[in-house]
Structure 1
Amino acid sequence: AKIVDGVVTPYASGEHAWEMSVLRVRQSWWDKHKDEFERLDGEPLRKWCAQQHQDKDFATVVVVTDFAACGYSANEGLIGMMGE
């Protein structure tokens, strides 16, 4: 997801943008790198889950930017912090 003017929005655009923004990674990779990413939590996560009809106990929403330093590449997906 991206945060634009304080609003959580899908990274992808167009029809079915949230579905197009979904990423899948191996659990072992996520366990190793999850702390490298900004994630929604608290009230923003609760609101997103309510809007998207998701269970907050199972939802993970990674907040990305257009800068590689956020650990996301539009070409490669989640890449983590390079060199770490």
Structure 2
Amino acid sequence: MLAASPAKEIVLSGGDGELPFRCVMCGRGYRSRSSLTRHSRYECGRLGSRYTFTCTLCGKYFCRPDHLKQHILNIHGGSVAK
């Protein structure tokens, strides 16, 4: 029988590795409060589907609007209409 794995931490290379800002929902750690806020807003604890941002060109789903914007710029070579 396999043991349950602990919550994964996001560890960036370099620095001392401390992650003082922790998500109360999933336990993930972050170096800055703004990263934790973004995680809470878009990735963890959202009601309904986690993937709420959809590319109108290909239908791919994203959980953060900045990832959708990068996708459109990198994959479709276009600008994002606001």
How high is the TM-score relative to the length of structure 1?
0.23
| TM-score normalised by structure 2 residue count | 0.23
Structure of higher RCO (CA pairs closer than 8 Å, 6+ residues apart): 1
By percentage of residues, which structure has more helix? 1
Return the structure number with greater strand share: 1
